[in-house]
Amino acid sequence: MKMYSVALVMVLFFCACAEGTNTPAGAVEARSGLARDLAPSDDDVAVLTASNRDFAVALFHELLAGNGGGNIFISPHSISIALAMTYAGAAGNTASQMRTAMSFDLDDAALHEAFNSLDLALDERGSESVDEPTGDAFELSVVNAAWGQTGYQFVQAYLDTLAQNYGAGMWLLDFLNDPDGSRVSINDWVADESHDRIVDLLPEGAISAATSLVLTNVIYFKASWLKKFDPADTVDATFSRMDGTDVDVRMMHVADELMYGTTDGCEYLRVPYVGKNVEMLLILPAPGHYTAVETALTGDAIGDMMENSVEATGKLALPRFTFEFESALNDPLKALGMTDAFQEGVADFSGMDGVPHNLYVSLVQHKSFVAVDEEGTEAAAATAVVIDNTSVPVETFDMTFDRPFIFAIVDKPTGAVLFLGRVLDPTAG
């Protein structure tokens, strides 16, 4: 298998494969010589997005089980991309489990090409001019990056896949000698790309001397409603929680013509942002039906709601809300069947470095932010996949023999001590 040494090919981060991302001070990048494919086929994008909806809802249900009744907000798109970049280096049973857990239905080449096509389409969405009377801007950005241990060897085909389909080059960091400094560098990049909405994505201890690779995705969204809520119509109101208690909220109001529908136990509404290409889907279970609707929610159900809604005129009352969500995704992903990837000595990411069972996923970390008010919505999320090396010792040392010491010469097979001595003065004859 052809290898590619990240220690040999280092260039400044003006390379096309990472175009548009912020450059950490003094950073260098090791990358494939191939540019990003800017004209991928979009034939399989519909299949990919349907699969991603299935994964989104499956992961959502797993997070519900361990959340204890709190708010949840994730970016399935961010998580899917970060794990797709990880999957590109998986092999054997590890790859099979990831395909099942992620609901990947396409063959590998078509899968990565579809992700590329989807990513580029979203990038175009973020750069479209919005011809609205208000002149409000629409922002949507999705960026990817890989962070590799300086001097570690990666398979060239893997770096080619990252470059061609995900626009991701590989930043070189010294995880071995400066794990926490490397963590800070990654967190700073994430903060920059998320407009400081995602801070400290990777917690202390997430990076160790054993880390060989970190894969990251950041998505940022900010847009005004097509028809804004008038702040003068926002009033104090009561919101009833699941346990029957009430909480005071600021309730926004608007009268508009929107896409509306009903299904078993709930109503739903599509509220467009400027540009009309992106919408918020609001699902309102009937009183007493929340649990049933949540339990029955599927990717197909979301697709059906988007497809089957009809134009209707009415009034919308929506509370303002802002919150953050953070979670390690190891356990939810294991529950979906992705178990081998997390097992040291079992995981097979030989597509990354050519060595079976050498690398394994130590952490999948996700963090998100959302704010909804009269103007519109701001949302950001980031995902990091931390990949450690089983053969790298976690402990490091720095020894200087500048004082008396003892030494021995030992026969390794038998353990016999052949020689034993001490050095009190290396210059003594």
Profile the chain (429 residues) by mean pLDDT over runs of 10 residues.
35 34 62 88 95 94 86 94 98 98 97 95 74 68 94 93 93 92 95 97 96 96 93 95 90 94 93 90 92 93 93 94 95 98 97 96 96 94 96 68 77 73 76
Distance, in Å, from the CA atom of 21 to the CA atom of 14, rounded to the nearest integer, reads 9
Within this chain, do residues 250 and 358 fall inside the same structural domain, yes or no?
no
Question: Residue holding tokens 């400044």?
Answer: 12
Residue 400 lies in a domain: no
> Domain boundary at 299, 319, 339, which?
319
Tally of structural domains, the chain: 2
pLDDT at 117 (0 to 100)? 95
Residue 387's H or E segment, with its range, is strand 376-389
pLDDT at 26 (0 to 100)? 47
CA distances from 248 to 131, 306, 320, 376 (A): 37, 31, 11, 21
Within this chain, do residues 48 and 190 fall inside the same structural domain, yes or no?
yes
pLDDT at 133 (0 to 100)? 55
Within this chain, do residues 331 and 272 fall inside the same structural domain, yes or no?
no
Residue 8 lies in a domain: yes
CATH number at residue 258: 2.30.39.10
Whole-structure pTM over 0.85, yes or no?
yes
Q: In sequence order, what DSSP letters do the residues of 232-253 get, joined into one string? A: GG-EEEEEE-TTS-EEEEEEEE
pLDDT at 427 (0 to 100)? 81
Within this chain, do residues 23 and 67 fall inside the same structural domain, yes or no?
yes
Within this chain, do residues 48 and 176 fall inside the same structural domain, yes or no?
yes
Within this chain, do residues 302 and 348 fall inside the same structural domain, yes or no?
no
In sequence order, the 6+-apart residues with CB closer than 8 A to the CB of 131 are: none
Strand order from edge to edge, sheet including 359-372:
11-12, 28-30, 170-173, 138-149, 211-224, 376-389, 359-372, 321-328
Residue 112 lies in a domain: yes
Q: Does residue 116 come out as left (phi exceeding 0), alpha (psi in the -120 to 50 range) or beta?
A: alpha
CATH number at residue 33: 3.30.497.10
Contact in structure between 423 and 404 (CB atoms under 8 Å): yes
pLDDT at 134 (0 to 100)? 57
pLDDT at 19 (0 to 100)? 45
For residue 240, give its domain range: 235-319
> Domain boundary at 319, 335, 361, which?
319
Within this chain, do residues 139 and 267 fall inside the same structural domain, yes or no?
no
Residue 402 lies in a domain: no
Residue 364 lies in a domain: yes
Which letter does DSSP use for residue 73 in this model?
A: -
Residue 416 lies in a domain: no
Distance, in Å, from the CA atom of 141 to the CA atom of 379, rounded to the nearest integer, reads 11
> Domain boundary at 292, 319, 346, which?
319
Other beta carbons within 10 Å of 138: 21
Within this chain, do residues 243 and 157 fall inside the same structural domain, yes or no?
no
Helix 45-65 with 299-308: angle, nearest 10 deg: 120
Within this chain, do residues 283 and 351 fall inside the same structural domain, yes or no?
no
pLDDT at 397 (0 to 100)? 64
Identify residue 260 by its one-letter amino acid code: Y
DSSP β-ladder status, 376-389 and 405-411: unpaired
Residue 428 lies in a domain: no
Question: Strands (DSSP E) along 195-242, which ranges?
Answer: 211-224, 235-240
Residue 33 lies in a domain: yes
Within this chain, do residues 36 and 137 fall inside the same structural domain, yes or no?
yes
DSSP β-ladder status, 138-149 and 235-240: unpaired
Within this chain, do residues 210 and 258 fall inside the same structural domain, yes or no?
no
Within this chain, do residues 26 and 88 fall inside the same structural domain, yes or no?
yes
